[in-house]
Structure 1
Amino acid sequence: MSAPVNYAKLFGFDSVAAAAIFAALWAPLCFWFFVLLFRHRSYVVFVLALFCQIRLVAFIIRAILAGSESAGESLGLFIADEVFFSTGFFGLLYGSYGLVMSRLALCHNQPFDNALFRLMRNHLLFHLTLSSGVVLGIVGIIEISNNPSSTLGSIFRKVSIIIFVALTVLQASQTVILAIAERRDDPEERMKHIGISFGARHGAIIFMCIAVLLLIRELFTAATIGSMTEQNNEHLWYSLVALPELLCLILYAIPGLIPPKYAEAPQYGP
């Protein structure tokens, strides 16, 4: 009879302390975004609040997997943790997309206004593409977890990563367009619509920082696309995946970055 497989150790889950620290850091962010949700009741804020909750639960599970031999041998618990980390990025990227598009819609002097760029700003298309990446990622994770040599699982996982990378680059380009558009606009006129708080006044710069952090996360994921074990290397994973995500949410929490006047549920269409 073969010995049970410790999936947590097999895929590089070793540090209980690191997972516990990140869980503790996510807890106040969960509280803040739920408070913000009651104030704004918008789809974007809901997505960010849900993302916080998913990350908190995922880090708690990761700490349990790394610290308990019996938990590490539970394939179901391991798959649940990987799925939480995979699906959670949906909220982070879509939240950025929704907020940048809402702010860009207020600009009167947009640098590009043609059919291609209107297509790139189609909320429904972005949402469907992002959702397909999430579904493929989940299927790939389940396949690889059950059979590490699964070719189909590896293909699904790689396609999912490519979709996420492409959408992250797209979102970064939209953020650059936002920065250009806001430089062309009258700042006093813009402040009438979005307020004078720090987040409102420096929103384009903050969103640029978020875009850079998202790119760091996704470029690391793409660089380790061939191996889940390499991707879960804790020395790199916490620095290049977990930390950028945490910093993104801290930036989102800056007062005024999500003003009520345009924290609306995005309208599907160009």
Structure 2
Amino acid sequence: MAAESINYAQYAGIHSVAAAVIFLIAYVPLAILYIIYSIRRPTYVLIVLALFCIIRITAFSIRAAMAASTSAGESEGLLVAEEILYNAGFFGVLYSAYTLVLDRDQLTGRLGETQGLLTLLARITSNRHVIRLTLSVAVALGITGATKMVSSNSSDVSTGESLRRASVYIFLVVTAVLVLRTLILAMHQGASRPDNNMELGASQRPKGNTTFGARHGIYVLAIITLLLLIREAFYAATTGSTNASQQAKGNNEAYFYPLGALTEFLAVILFAVPGLVPSRKELEMQRYAAEK
């Protein structure tokens, strides 16, 4: 008698073809936009956002295929691929937000000037290598956890859940640190604003730059940070929980799409606000000014 096939799509809560296709289509113009931006103004943030959009298009394509086709839904490999792409992709948008906050803090000329109890913490959290390494560990744990969770061995499944839980909480901690860095940026900009019409000082931004992002970037960054925090709080409360019913909500599309998928999608849209992402020239000018 043939072994009964496992429908991994149903196991992972993947049911809606329409929702996956909508997000797939929605990311296409964003991918094109960020590819154009990254060619015209090649900065780390814009290049990574272009890659992130491509990864999300691929992930939602797999998700749509698994929801639409029984044979695709029974493919263990597709489920693992979707989990890996979705987990690894978040690295891009979170680190882009973190990099942007540090870049804009650099433009204030006060990146290393935090005083008091926050001094040591500010120095550690402004180290890009530390943050990148931390996020890389989170991605590695998430990928390993995803591969183990489809195992027929209960011990491997348990290990996979623990690894995925650890990955979620590392992402949450880094997102919380992003909140801190955004607050520090707000303090630095408030202390260095010589011109009420400009968010950044005249030495950091060309005169006459009246783009919304240049003048009100801190508010846009605050919204991006809040959206990413909501996303990670959702995963911490569901995927990161040891309660089975709470874990199930993480796979429930009624929660996943508005709290997981939509939040990061809106965040990615906000990165496109004109003037928000500083150019390499602006950053290099500030570094030169700081060295004088």
Give the corresponding residue for 1:247.
266
Q: Can you list the C-alpha shifts for 1:29-53, whole angstroms capped at 9, x where unaligned?
A: 0000000110122222211111111
One of 124, 127, 134 as aligned partner of 1:129: 134
User: What is the alpha-carbon distance in structure 1 between the residues aligned to residue 11 and residue 125 of structure 2?
Assistant: 40
Which letter does structure 2 place at the counterpart of 1:257?
A: L
- Displacement of 1:259: 2.7
Once residues 151 and 255 of structure 1 are traced to their aligned partners in structure 2, the CA distance between those partners, rounded to angstroms, is 46
Per-residue deviation, residues 189-213 of structure 1 (Å, max 9, x unmatched): 7253233311111110000000100
TM-score (norm 1): 0.93
Taking the aligned partners of 1:159 and 1:6, their CA distance within structure 2 comes to 26
1:112 is displaced (CA, Å) by: 2.1
The within-5 A match list for 1:200-211 is: 200-211=214-225
1:2 deviation in Å? 2.3
Distance 2:133 2:193 in 1: 35
Q: CA deviation at 1:116?
A: 2.5
Could you state the TM-score of these two structures normalised by the residue count of structure 2? Answer: 0.86
> In the alignment, which residue of structure 2 is the partner of 1:81?
82
Give the match for residue 235 of structure 1. Answer: 254
Residue 144 (structure 2) aligns with: 139
CA-to-partner distance for each residue in 1:204-241, whole Å, 9 max, x for gaps? 00000001000000000000123554311100000101
Kindly state the Cα deviation for residue 186 of structure 1 after the two structures are TM-superposed. Answer: 1.8
Give the aligned partner of residue 112 of structure 1: 114
Task: Measure, in 1, the Cα distance between the counterparts of 2:141 and 2:47.
Answer: 23
Give the conservation status (yes or no) of the 8 Å contact 2:220–2:270. yes
Separation in 1 of the partners of 2:110 and 2:36?
A: 34
C-alpha spacing 1:262/1:147, structure 2 compared with 1 (3 Å):
farther
Post-superposition offset of 1:146: 2.3
User: Alpha carbons of 1:10 and 1:180: their partners in 2 closer, same or farther (altered >3 Å)?
Assistant: same
Q: Please name the residue that 1:48 is paired with.
A: 49
CA contact (8 A) 1:169 1:215 kept: yes
Q: Matched residues in 2 for 1:6 and 1:60: separation?
A: 18
Q: Which runs of 5+ in 1 are unaligned?
A: none
- Corresponding residue for residue 20 of structure 2: 19
Alignment of 1:27-42 (within 5 A): 27-42=28-43
CA distance in 1, matches of 2:143, 2:36: 30
Q: 2:181 aligns with which of 174, 191, 205?
A: 174
**1:222 corresponding residue in structure 2:** 236
- The amino acid across from 1:130 in the alignment is L
Instruction: Output the amino acid matched with 1:217.
Output: R
User: Residues 206 and 4 from structure 1, CA distance in 2 versus in 1: closer, same or farther, beyond 3 angstroms?
Assistant: same
CA–CA distance in 1 between the matches of 2:194 and 2:223? 20
Greater relative contact order, per chain length (Cα 8 Å cut-off, separation 6+)? 1
- Equivalent residue letter for 2:38: L
Distance 1:64 1:263, change over 3 A: farther
One-letter amino acid of the counterpart of residue 51, structure 1: F
- Name stretches of at least 5 consecutive residues in structure 2 with no aligned partner: 288-292
Q: CA RMSD in A?
A: 1.9
Give the secondary-structure state (helix, strand or coil) at the position aligned to 1:257. Answer: coil
CA distance in 2, matches of 1:199, 1:243: 22
Q: Find the aligned partners of 2:52 and 2:110 in 1 and give their Cα distance.
A: 33
**What do the CA deviations read for 1:123-146 (whole angstroms, capped 9, x no partner)?**
100000010000000000110022
Q: Which residue of 2 aligns with 1:7?
A: 8
The answer to whether the Cα contact below 8 Å between 1:42 and 1:263 also exists between their aligned partners in 2 is no
